[in-house]
Amino acid sequence: MRCADAWRLRSLHPPLRLKQATCGVTCSCPLRFCSDVTTFSDVPSENDAPPQTLTHQSAPDRRTRKRDARRDHLLDLAADIVEDAGVDGLTMAALAQAADYATASLYTYFDSRSALLAALQQRALLLLHDLAEARVAQWQAALRMAEPPPTDQVASLALLWAFSDLFLAAPQTHPREFRLQQQMLINAGAETTADAAEVVPAAMLVLDVPRRLLEAATDTAALQTQPFTANPLEELLEGSLVRTFAWVLGLNGALMADGLSTGLPTTGAALGEVLTQGLLQGWGASPKDSAIARSLAQSLGQSPARSLRQSQAQSLGEQA
């Protein structure tokens, strides 16, 4: 997949402009990440009016804005249908009925049901990505305010624990977006190969958040280095990316336990916490540092400095 493929995300969902995109998400060199970033606003979409000068690009005209708004409204209605009837219940006919449109008119916005699902999935992924990026920035700021400051190792582990908590809370905080992703994981045939490929850049943007946190924890020596791993396609996968796949898919699986008809004497979130603890220690985290980091992570959502000081004092007392 080419780097240029990422530019399509801007026209696929104009209201959710990503400020940055990691080039490595879509580089032709498989699964390698580079530091080059660019802004999507610099790249014209098919819906934008042509630039009037070499240095200025005009804003979308009124007609384009209205079309974008109608498309977003259709995606909102599609999300309602998925919430009520699942992915299988989202058909072009069902959306046309909900929107009071002629079914044929929907094809001016989405080429097919598969394209509709891909657009809905992309929008959900971009929202989850923006949320994760904002939360990581908040956590990092809170850790910088802590007195005394945690060690680099503890801070990097605290960010991993905080991300785990964010992920495991997603079914409650963002049920539409998260449940859609879970349904798409087990409905692989709902999208064509081409439409599914269009979702990959957005999915990799989301995965790049925990990947960077894992890489940072390795850089601080909080986790042991993971060597490059050969996959069945005989391509080398970077260590933090392998760990990202294992962690995120494991957390997804834990949360799916909540949907078991037989029920379990626990919750998916509780299982996910056990999974995170086991993975971090299996990857080399010190049990003592991980325990302190766990306590810090639980306080990151509160008003920063005091909560972190109290959490550190409590953790240090327990470890004494």
Tens-place pLDDT, residues 252-297: 999 999 888 777 889 999 999 999 999 999 999 999 999 999 999 9
Alpha-carbon distances of 267 from 168, 231, 296, rounded to whole Å:
10, 32, 23
**pTM for this structure?**
0.75
pLDDT at 234: 64
| Maximal C-alpha separation, the chain | 69
Lowest mean pLDDT among 45-54, 232-241, 263-272: 45-54
Segment 47-54 shows an average pLDDT of 41
CA distance 198 to 9: 8
How wide is the angle at C-alpha 312 spanned by C-alphas 308 and 316, nearest 5°? 175
With cut-offs at 50, 70 and 90, classify the pLDDT of residue 74. very high
Q: Is the pLDDT of residue 197 over 50?
A: yes
Q: Is the pLDDT of residue 188 over 70?
A: yes
> Which helix (H) or strand (E) covers residue 237, if one does?
strand 236-237
On whether the CB atoms of residues 5 and 26 are closer than 8 A, the answer is: yes
Helix (H, G, I), strand (E, B) or coil at 58: coil
Q: What is the β-pairing status of strands 21-22 and 37-38?
A: antiparallel
Q: Is the pLDDT of residue 36 over 60?
A: no
Beta-bridge partners for 37: 22
- Residue among 251, 233, 274, 247 nearest 31 (CA): 233
pLDDT winner (highest mean) among 19-28, 226-235, 304-313? 226-235
pLDDT, tens digit, for every residue of 132-180? Answer: 999 999 999 999 998 889 999 999 999 999 999 999 999 999 999 999 9
CA distance 217 to 224: 9
CA distance 94 to 52: 41
Q: Kindly report the average pLDDT of the chain as a whole number.
A: 80
Q: Is the pLDDT of residue 189 over 70?
A: yes
For residue 233, how far is the Cα from the chain centroid?
Answer: 25
Q: Is the pLDDT of residue 314 over 60?
A: no
Q: What share of the chain is helix, strand, coil (3-state, %, to 5)?
A: 70, 0, 30
Structural tokens at position 160: 């991993």
Segment 13-39 shows an average pLDDT of 38
pLDDT at 302: 61
Residue recorded with tokens 């850049």: 201
CA distance 162 to 135: 9
pLDDT at 61: 85
